[in-house]
Amino acid sequence: MIALGRHRWVGPLIGLVVVFVLFAILLPGQLTKPITIMTMARATAVVGIAASGTTMVIILGGIDLSVGSAVALTTVVIALVLKQDLGVVAAIVLAVLAAACAGAINGGLTVGLEIAPFIVTLGTMGALRGAAIGLAHEQRVYVDAHGIDALVLPTHGVLGVPLAVWLLFAVAASIAVLLNNTTYGRQVFAIGSNERTALLAGIRVKRIKIITYAVATGLAGVAGIVEFGRLTVGDPTDSVGLELAVIASSVIGGSSLAGGEGSVLGTIFGAMMMTVIQTGCSFLGLASWLQMILTGVIIIAAAGLDRFRQKAAASRVRSRSHNPRKL
Amino acid sequence: MSLVTRGIEKSYGPTRALAGVDLEAEGGRITAVIGQNGAGKSTLMGVLAGAVAPDAGTMSLDGAPYAPRSPLDARRAGVAMVHQELSLCPHLSVAENVLLGRLPTRGGLVDWKEARRLAVAALEPLVVIDPRTKVSDLSLANQQLVEIARALAFRCRVLILDEPTSSLAASDVLRLFARLRVLKERGLVILYLSHFLEEVTTLADRFVVLRDGENVGGGDVDGSAAGGTPRMVELMAGRAIATLYPRSTHTPGDVALSAGELVVRRGEVVGIAGLVGAGRTTLLRSILRANGTGAAPIRKAMLSEDRKAEGLATSLSIAANITLSRPASRWGFFVTRGGDERASRPWMERMGIRATSASQKVSELSGGNQQKVALARIMHDGADVLLVDEPTRGIDVETKARIYELIDQAARGGKAIVVVSSYLPELLGICDRIHVMRRGELGPSHEASALDEHALLREAAL
């Protein structure tokens, strides 16, 4: 039997189902329409892809605030490269590379100067935004989308599901395998759980950190491709505050900001939950300020529930250590 | 298999932690390293495990030179240390912790089946645990065994255990001993650090005594006159410097503090001896928190053993620290820097705090002067009961003498003082009465004049 309680994504999944059922009852026949579900899935793609990367950083015990700026920068880079007629492939590759380089800088500064990642990425959040605005000459970059918009068009889906959603699934699945079933991924968990021990065991902590920040921001670049598909322009002022939605998804999805725990699947459920709340609230005609309050409450409730769960587990262990099990 | 050290020396500033230690340990035997606090045990084990770089001396492993540059280096050479504070990744499974940094792979992915097999193999001489269990779900005793298993998975030849039983229940201690005997039979060199002589006589084959950073003797543990606890106590004890301690007559007044066995009168210094982990600090904290039963509330102040983390706000000035709990305020709330500094200067003079001015940051002071600032704070606080935890840890002899004098003065000034210390000569030197604490229980009160180190060691360690 699979012990469901052991998996961190179970709680977020239950939360998602509860929220979905709640809104489905409040909005009979509306939320369960395939078109609505598709729209919600598509709306989750950008946040979900970016959050898969940030979840890696959070498991590592770090944080990345530069995600929103990285997405905006990516849309600008894609637009500029397309404008030079270098082709779609070059645009996508260059954009993701630019993002990954920014991530490597985040990791490098964190490791090299031993500055807290919160400060480093707070700095690069501003710097990347500035770079995007500068590259775009302080305006939107209008360009023919060269078919990138097909990512989000319902007409170009496979099995009726837009390509962006397939991309989200592919990214989430790959990162889940990377984290759970490769040496690299397990080392990410080990560092987040106890960095000194990881170091003592011969894990190359600095290298793993730089790689993880690079992959995470690289994934923000992938999210940026989808975002460009949605916008069809390069917009340097896009995705302001996206990093907070991304971190919220991760926390609702069961990640601990102290590091060592988290799951990509949970994060995706967390991101979906936020989309369902937003969609449900706007269908109900609730004001956006109410949605904001509700989202805030859910973030705090998720973290609070997790804390409660951990305390309960800790006291269980304490009582056990007084009555050692027979071997 | 053998581990040999010759002339290992290590100094921290003016403090000489190791003064040329020669040590030999063979495979297939358990060697206990014993000694009082500050005898240099931990430093020596740090040197062996690659965490501390020695100033002088050589080491060899099976005859080959051994000079680790880091704990990782030592592990690769086959020397692993299991610390008092466990170093595990609590969120990961048992298998992952045992194979940390060396998970087997197959086609780029982790081979979990093989990982579980290897982990079970490493755990086999120790304990039967499902390797998929999360480490934070294990009892402390089993977590410790997981850490030993990790050392075995690293193919360690020398296993160093630092106070492994300090947080274990009695039944777990016996289980650990049985496991260590199995490892011994496999030819491992096992070094076992402990304060508990009872454990040493039960478990170890040989013992080595460190005192003041030197190997002062040892032998086979065989229950004979040369290998029994009386000789261990004798070697550990050494001699105290009598002149260090002021010996003025205290005249005890009313009872200021009464907590179970512990009764302290005004003008009295009462000591609590005991081993690390005996629960002395916990006792002090509970006294600090407890409300007095008398009519007039008794003010209590505590000097923490952890100067940097609890005793002082090191990023603030001397004046801010001394007046921390009783600011020199006007109208009950208005505080000026000048006022704090004026209030602090007499204390700096009385304590002999060497600093450029009262506004100097505490972090810029030496350890001894920091300790004097911490002591000045609880004296300035005006409390009736002073709870003092390890007042002279890590400070030079001159400052120690000054602190003893200040404690003596405070007692003559009518304060009731409780001193916790792991350094027995100090307790015997400054206290009027002494209790021994052992595994959470406070023993009866003894007149200090009727005690010596042997008696205290026997009560604390047996």
CATH number at residue A263: 1.10.3470
Residue of chain A with shortest Cα separation from B129: A327
Task: Tell me, yes or no, if B123 comes closer than 8 A to chain A by beta carbon.
Answer: no
pLDDT band for B294, please (50, 70, 90 cuts): low
How does pLDDT run across B21-40, given as a tens digit for each residue? 999 999 999 999 988 766 78
A181·B71 Cβ contact <8 A: no
Residue of chain A with shortest Cα separation from B70: A200
Pairing of strands A233-234, B105-106: unpaired
Residue A176 tokens read as 């889940």
Asked if residue B287 lies in contact with residue B418, where contact means CB atoms within 8 angstroms, the answer is yes
User: How high is the pLDDT of residue B260?
Assistant: 81
User: How high is the pLDDT of residue A271?
Assistant: 94
Q: Tell me the C-alpha to C-alpha distance, in Å, between residue A304 and each of A81, A176, A254, A255, B10.
A: 45, 25, 11, 12, 48
Q: What b-and-e string marks burial along A205-222, b requiring 16 or more CB atoms within 10 Å of the CB?
A: beebbbbbbbbbbbbbbb
The mean pLDDT of B119-125, rounded to a whole number, is 90
User: How high is the pLDDT of residue A314?
Assistant: 65
Q: What's this model's pTM, rounded to 2 decimal places?
A: 0.79
Backbone angles phi, psi at A96, to 5 degrees: -65, -40
Percent with pLDDT over 90 in chain B: 27
CA of B291, closest CA in chain A: separation in Å? 28
Number of domains within chain A: 1
User: How high is the pLDDT of residue A3?
Assistant: 45
Residue closest to B399 by CA, chosen among B411, B389, B407, B410: B407
Q: What angle do CA A321, B152, B91 make, to 5 degrees?
A: 45
Q: What angle do CA B201, B205, B206 make, to 5 degrees?
A: 90
> Which residues from A are below 8 Å from B140, CB to CB?
321
Nearest by CB to B91, from A181, A199, A261: name it. A261
CA of A261, closest CA in chain B: separation in Å? 7
Q: Name the DSSP class of B292.
A: P
Residue B385 tokens read as 């009961």
Residue B66 has pLDDT above 80, yes or no: yes
Helix runs in B134-216, H state only: 140-153, 170-185, 197-203
ipTM: 0.81
User: How high is the pLDDT of residue A307?
Assistant: 77
User: How high is the pLDDT of residue A85?
Assistant: 87
- Residue A192 is assigned to a structural domain of this protein: yes
Q: Answer positive or negative: Cα dihedral of B223, B227, B233, B239.
A: positive
Asked if residue B256 lies in contact with residue B266, where contact means CB atoms within 8 angstroms, the answer is yes
Backbone angles phi, psi at A19, to 5 degrees: -60, -45
Tell me which residue has tokens 């005997």.
B181
Nearest by CB to A321, from B71, B112, B140: name it. B140
B71·A200 Cβ contact <8 A: yes
Residue of chain A with shortest Cα separation from B133: A6
Give the burial class of B28: count Cβ atoms within 10 A of its Cβ; 0-12 exposed, 13-18 middle, 19 or more buried.
middle
> Which residues from A are below 8 Å from B110, CB to CB?
181-183, 186
Q: Following CA atoms A129, A134, A136, A139 in sequence, which dihedral angle do they give, to the nearest 10 degrees?
A: 90
Nearest by CB to A197, from B89, B110, B134: name it. B89
> Which residues from A are below 8 Å from B89, CB to CB?
189-190, 193-194, 197-198, 260
- Residue A326 is assigned to a structural domain of this protein: no
Task: Tell me, yes or no, if B103 comes closer than 8 A to chain A by beta carbon.
Answer: yes
Task: Tell me, yes or no, if B172 comes closer than 8 A to chain A by beta carbon.
Answer: yes
Say how far apart CA A236 and CA A77 lie, in whole Å. Answer: 10
Cβ contacts from A onto B, under 8 A: 91
A324·B103 Cβ contact <8 A: no
Backbone angles phi, psi at A30, to 5 degrees: -90, -50
Task: Tell me, yes or no, if A187 comes closer than 8 A to chain B by beta carbon.
Answer: yes
Residue A155 tokens read as 């007409």
Q: In 10 A of CB A62, how many CB atoms?
A: 25
User: How high is the pLDDT of residue A172?
Assistant: 96
Nearest by CB to B110, from A183, A199, A316: name it. A183
Mean pLDDT of chain B: 85
Say how far apart CA B211 and CA B232 lie, in whole Å. Answer: 11
How does pLDDT run across B175-234, given as a tens digit for each residue? 889 989 998 998 899 999 887 777 888 889 999 998 888 898 888 888 776 777 778 878
Residue B102 has pLDDT above 50, yes or no: yes
User: How high is the pLDDT of residue B310?
Assistant: 81
- Residue A314 is assigned to a structural domain of this protein: no
Nearest by CB to A197, from B88, B110, B138: name it. B88
Asked if residue B258 lies in contact with residue B376, where contact means CB atoms within 8 angstroms, the answer is no
CA of B190, closest CA in chain A: separation in Å? 20
A186·B96 Cβ contact <8 A: yes
- Residue A54 is assigned to a structural domain of this protein: yes
B91·A192 Cβ contact <8 A: yes
- Residue A318 is assigned to a structural domain of this protein: no
- Residue A20 is assigned to a structural domain of this protein: yes
A201·B134 Cβ contact <8 A: no
B87·A200 Cβ contact <8 A: yes
Give the burial class of B382: count Cβ atoms within 10 A of its Cβ; 0-12 exposed, 13-18 middle, 19 or more buried.
exposed
Give the burial class of A36: count Cβ atoms within 10 A of its Cβ; 0-12 exposed, 13-18 middle, 19 or more buried.
middle
Rg (CA), chain B: 25
Residue closest to A313 by CA, chosen among B133, B462, B77, B105: B133
Sequence letter at residue A232: T
Residue closest to A83 by CA, chosen among A135, A134, A127, A131: A135
How does pLDDT run across B132-171, given as a tens digit for each residue? 999 988 888 889 889 889 888 888 899 999 888 877 777 7
Task: Tell me, yes or no, if A159 comes closer than 8 A to chain B by beta carbon.
Answer: no
- Residue A327 is assigned to a structural domain of this protein: no
Residue A171 tokens read as 């990214």
Task: Tell me, yes or no, if B127 comes closer than 8 A to chain A by beta carbon.
Answer: yes
> Which residues from A are below 8 Å from B88, CB to CB?
194, 197
- Residue A1 is assigned to a structural domain of this protein: no
pLDDT in tens, chain A (327 residues): 344 456 778 888 988 999 999 999 998 888 888 888 888 988 899 999 999 999 999 999 999 999 999 999 999 999 999 999 898 999 999 999 999 999 999 999 999 999 999 999 999 999 999 999 999 999 999 988 888 888 888 788 788 788 999 999 999 999 999 999 999 999 999 999 999 889 888 889 999 999 999 999 999 999 999 999 999 999 999 999 899 999 999 999 989 888 999 999 999 999 999 999 889 988 888 888 888 888 888 888 888 887 787 777 666 555 444 333 323
Q: In 10 A of CB A176, how many CB atoms?
A: 20
Backbone angles phi, psi at A151, to 5 degrees: -55, -35
Higher pLDDT, B289 or B272: B272
Residue B18 tokens read as 């190791």
User: How high is the pLDDT of residue A216?
Assistant: 97
**Which residues of B, range 359-418, sit inside 8 Å of A by Cβ?**
none
Residue closest to B419 by CA, chosen among B383, B385, B452, B453: B385
Give the burial class of B21: count Cβ atoms within 10 A of its Cβ; 0-12 exposed, 13-18 middle, 19 or more buried.
buried
Sequence letter at residue B401: A
> Which residues from B are below 8 Å from A190, CB to CB?
89, 92, 96, 100-101
SS3 B253: coil
User: How high is the pLDDT of residue A316?
Assistant: 59
Task: Tell me, yes or no, if B75 comes closer than 8 A to chain A by beta carbon.
Answer: yes
B101·A198 Cβ contact <8 A: yes
Query: Could you tell me the residue range of the domain that residue A51 belongs to?
Result: 7-308
Q: C-alpha A224: how far from its chain's center? A: 12
Say how far apart CA B107 and CA B183 lie, in whole Å. Answer: 35
Give the burial class of B224: count Cβ atoms within 10 A of its Cβ; 0-12 exposed, 13-18 middle, 19 or more buried.
exposed
> Which residues from B are below 8 Å from A327, CB to CB?
127-128, 175
Say how far apart CA B213 and CA B402 lie, in whole Å. Answer: 24
Hey, what domains does chain B have and what are their CATH numbers? 2-237 (3.40.50.300), 242-461 (3.40.50.300)
Q: Tell me the C-alpha to C-alpha distance, in Å, between residue A191 and each of A198, B56, B99, B116.
A: 6, 34, 14, 21
* Interface with chain A: mutation pick from B92, B93, B160, highest number of A CBs within 10 Å: B92
Asked if residue B82 lies in contact with residue B51, where contact means CB atoms within 8 angstroms, the answer is no
CA of A279, closest CA in chain B: separation in Å? 35
> Which residues from A are below 8 Å from B115, CB to CB?
none
CA of B223, closest CA in chain A: separation in Å? 32
Say how far apart CA A170 and CA B12 lie, in whole Å. Answer: 56
Say how far apart CA B279 and CA B460 lie, in whole Å. Answer: 12
* Interface with chain A: mutation pick from B87, B91, B96, B124, highest number of A CBs within 10 Å: B91
Task: Tell me, yes or no, if B182 comes closer than 8 A to chain A by beta carbon.
Answer: no
Residue closest to B389 by CA, chosen among B273, B247, B297, B235: B273
CA of B46, closest CA in chain A: separation in Å? 14
A190·B101 Cβ contact <8 A: yes
Say how far apart CA B35 and CA B196 lie, in whole Å. Answer: 10
Sequence letter at residue B214: E
Residue closest to B242 by CA, chosen among B429, B447, B430, B421: B429
Tell me which residue has tokens 């199995």.
B182
